[in-house]
Amino acid sequence: MEIPSLVDEIPVLAALASRADGETVFRSVGELRVKESDRLAAITKSLGAIGGDAWVDGEDLHVRGCEGFYSGKVDTALDHRIAMAFASLNVHPSVDLQLSEDRSPGVSYPSFFQDLTRVVQRA
């Protein structure tokens, strides 16, 4: 998989990988440290805060999946990708999260929350 073309999708993929079986490794994603926030730090901190398990080893992000209940507050670091990633994770029935803010997705996707609600209602 070509990471450079998917770098903006890594936060949502990592959040969703936290619910998958086993460990998911995103290799050579150090570029995430120099986006709107340090997204590697935001992902690992946020997953840890809600009961997930993620860590960085060099340029690689590791996410260990868990079937348990996730709850807590996610600090979005005012980063639209982090906010959208964890809002997407929050639709899982075993997840109950609060985002520190919900305005940042408007930067890149003004109708994100309306569209997410619409998708969940159809499922």
Indicate which residue of 8, 21, 96, 115 is catalytic: 8
Closest to 101 measured CA to CA, from 120, 121, 86: 86
Question: Are 105 and 87 within 8 A, CB to CB?
Answer: yes
- The token duo for 122 is 């159809």
57 catalytic residue (yes or no):
no
- Which CB contacts under 8 angstroms, 24+ apart, belong to 89-95? 89/15, 89/16, 89/18, 89/19, 91/116, 91/120, 92/19, 94/19, 94/67, 94/68, 94/69, 94/70, 95/19, 95/50, 95/69, 95/70, 95/71
List residues with catalytic annotation: 8
